[in-house]
C-alpha cells in the first residue's frame, strides 16, 4: 500500500479481508464523464485537428497540426515536439497510416507518461499520515484541504487540519469555516505567528488525539521569493522533527489555468520541499490540462488529486487512463 492509498479505509484487525469491491458500471461511466467534462476545453484543440479528413493519411502537415494542438493545450513546445516524434515512431512501429489512428496512439503515450513516475513511499498504516499542501497564492490549497478532510472523514479516518497559513487572519478563518462545514478539528495560530510553531502544535495534538491524518494548509507563496521558500523548507523540517516515523507527503497544488508557469512552480517547490506528488485544481470551466504532462515529465512525481469545482465533493482521484481518455477525442 502506498502513501496515497489513505482513502482506502483500513479493515478492523479481526475483520475478514474485504473482497475487492466491484465498481458498478454506471459509476465508472459517471467518473469518465466527469473527466471528459473537466477536459472539454483541452480536448477541443485535438478535436479540431482530428475532425477534418480522419480517413486521410498522416503527413508532415498533419503532424504540425498535432503539435499546434499540444502547444495550445499548454503541453509546451519542448514536450510537444518530443510527443509528436513519439507519435510518429509509434505509428510507424504499429503500421498505422491514418489520421484517425493518431488519437489512440497519443492516448497511450499520454497514459504512459503519466504512469512513468517514482513509486510512492510505502504507507505504514500504524503511523500518523501528514499531507502538507504547498503552492503559489490562490492555487486552491485551502479548498483542497477541505475536500481531502471531507473525503477522508467519509472513509472513516480521523482527520485534523493545521492552519499553517498565518500570513493573513482571513486565511485561518477560511479554513476554520471549512473545518466546521466538514466536521473536523482544526489547530490554528495567531495571525503573524511562526507557521512552524503551528505545525508543531498540530503535530502534538495529532499525537495526543491519536489522529490518523493531519492535513497542513500552508500560505501561498511565489516560487521565486527565496525568503518565503526558505520559510517553507523550515516548516517541512519542523514536520519531520515533530512527527518521527510518520508517513509524510508534500503535495504541490497546481492551478490548471496557469499554463506553462506550472513547470517553474514545480521545479522550485520541489527544490524547497522534495515533492511527493501533485494536485491539480480548477480543472473545470476554462482550464487546460496540458501543463500537467510537462510537470510530470520533468519531475516524475505522481498526480494524486484533481479539483473540479468549489464544493467538498468536487474531488477526483487521479487516473492516468481516464485523464488521457478525457484529453483526446474518441
Ligand atoms: N472552479 C474551481 N475553483 C476552485 C477549485 N479549487 C479552488 N477553487 C477556488 O479558487 C479560489 C482560491 O482557492 P483557495 O483554496 O483559497 O486557494 P489557496 O491556494 O488556499 O489560496 P491562498 O491561501 O491565498 O494562497 C477560491 O475561490 C476557490 O473557491 C476548483 O477545483 N475549481
Ligand atoms: Mg489558502
User: What percent of the chain is modeled with pLDDT above 90?
Assistant: 72
Residue 186 domain flag? yes
Residue 8 has pLDDT above 70, yes or no: no
Ligand 1 pocket test: which of 170, 174, 252, 281 has the largest number of ligand atoms within 8 Å of its C-beta?
Answer: 281
Q: What residues have their beta carbon closer than 5 A to ion ligand 2?
A: 141-142
Which structural domain, as residue segments, surrounds residue 182? 129-275
Residue 188 domain flag? yes
Nearest atom in ligand 1 to 220's CA: 25
DSSP three-state, residue 183? coil
Residue 52 domain flag? no
Question: How confident is the model over 46-95, as pLDDT tens digits?
Answer: 888 787 788 899 999 999 999 999 999 999 999 999 999 999 999 999 99
Res 1: pLDDT: 44
Residue 290 domain flag? no
The dihedrals phi and psi of 179, each to the nearest 5 degrees, come to: -60, -40
DSSP 120: P
Question: How confident is the model over 119-145, as pLDDT tens digits?
Answer: 877 888 899 999 999 999 999 999 999
Res 11: pLDDT: 44
Q: How far is CA 159 from CA 20, 110, 146, 151, 318, in A?
A: 25, 34, 11, 10, 21
Residue 28 has pLDDT above 80, yes or no: no
CATH code of 269's domain: 3.40.50.300
Contact 182, 153 (CB under 8 A): yes
Residue 180 domain flag? yes
Question: How confident is the model over 232-264, as pLDDT tens digits?
Answer: 999 999 999 999 999 999 999 999 999 999 999
281 Cβ inside 6 Å of ligand 1: yes
Residue 236 domain flag? yes
Contacts of 248 (CB under 8 A, 6+ apart): 129, 130, 132, 239, 240, 276
Whole-model pTM: value is 0.91
Residue 16 has pLDDT above 70, yes or no: no
The secondary structure element, H or E, covering residue 278 is strand 277-281
What spacing in Å lies between the alpha carbon of 34 and ligand 2's midpoint? Answer: 25
User: What percent of the chain is modeled with pLDDT above 70?
Assistant: 92
Q: How many domains does the chain have?
A: 1
Res 10: pLDDT: 47
Quick one: pLDDT band at residue 20, thresholds 50, 70, 90? Answer: low
74 Cβ inside 6 Å of ligand 1: no
Nearest atom in ligand 1 to 253's CA: 19
Residue 155 domain flag? yes
What spacing in Å lies between the alpha carbon of 143 and ligand 2's midpoint? Answer: 7
Amino acid at each position: 500500500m502506498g502513501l496515497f492509498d489513505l482513502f482506502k479505509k483500513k479493515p478492523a484487525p479481526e475483520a475478514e479481508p474485504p473482497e475487492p469491491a466491484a465498481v458498478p458500471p454506471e459509476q465508472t461511466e459517471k467518473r469518465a464523464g466527469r473527466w471528459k467534462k473537466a477536459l472539454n476545453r483541452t480536448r477541443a484543440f485535438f478535436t479540431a485537428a482530428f475532425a477534418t479528413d480522419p480517413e486521410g493519411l498522416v503527413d508532415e502537415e498533419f503532424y504540425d497540426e498535432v503539435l499546434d494542438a499540444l502547444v495550445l493545450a499548454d503541453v509546451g513546445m519542448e514536450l510537444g515536439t518530443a510527443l509528436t516524434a513519439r507519435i510518429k515512431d509509434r505509428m510507424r512501429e504499429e503500421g498505422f497510416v491514418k489520421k484517425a489512428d493518431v488519437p489512440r496512439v497519443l492516448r497511450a503515450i499520454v497514459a504512459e507518461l503519466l504512469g512513468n513516475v517514482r513509486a510512492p513511499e510505502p504507507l505504514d498504516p500504524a503511523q500518523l499520515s501528514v499531507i502538507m499542501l504547498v503552492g503559489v497564492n490562490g492555487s486552491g490549497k485551502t479548498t483542497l484541504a477541505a475536500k481531502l478532510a471531507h473525503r477522508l472523514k467519509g472513509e472513516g479516518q480521523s482527520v485534523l487540519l493545521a492552519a499553517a497559513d498565518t500570513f493573513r487572519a482571513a486565511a485561518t478563518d477560511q479554513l476554520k469555516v471549512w473545518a466546521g462545514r466538514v466536521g473536523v478539528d482544526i489547530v490554528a495560530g495567531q495571525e503573524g505567528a511562526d507557521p512552524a510553531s503551528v505545525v508543531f502544535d498540530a503535530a502534538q495534538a495529532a499525537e495526543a488525539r491519536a489522529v490518523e491524518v493531519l492535513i497542513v494548509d500552508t500560505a501561498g507563496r511565489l516560487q521565486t521569493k527565496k525568503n518565503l521558500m526558505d520559510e517553507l523548507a523550515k516548516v517541512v523540517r519542523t514536520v519531520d522533527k515533530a512527527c518521527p516515523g510518520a508517513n509524510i507527503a508534500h503535495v504541490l497544488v497546481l492551478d490548471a489555468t496557469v499554463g506553462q508557469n506550472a513547470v517553474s512552480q514545480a521545479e522550485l517547490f520541489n527544490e524547497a520541499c522534495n515533492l511527493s506528488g501533485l494536485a491539480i485544481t480548477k480543472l473545470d470551466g476554462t482550464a487546460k490540462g496540458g501543463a500537467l504532462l510537462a510537470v510530470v515529465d520533468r519531475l516524475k512525481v505522481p498526480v494524486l488529486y484533481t479539483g473540479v469545482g468549489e464544493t467538498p465533493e468536487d474531488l477526483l482521484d487521479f487516473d492516468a487512463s481516464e485523464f488521457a481518455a478525457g484529453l483526446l477525442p474518441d
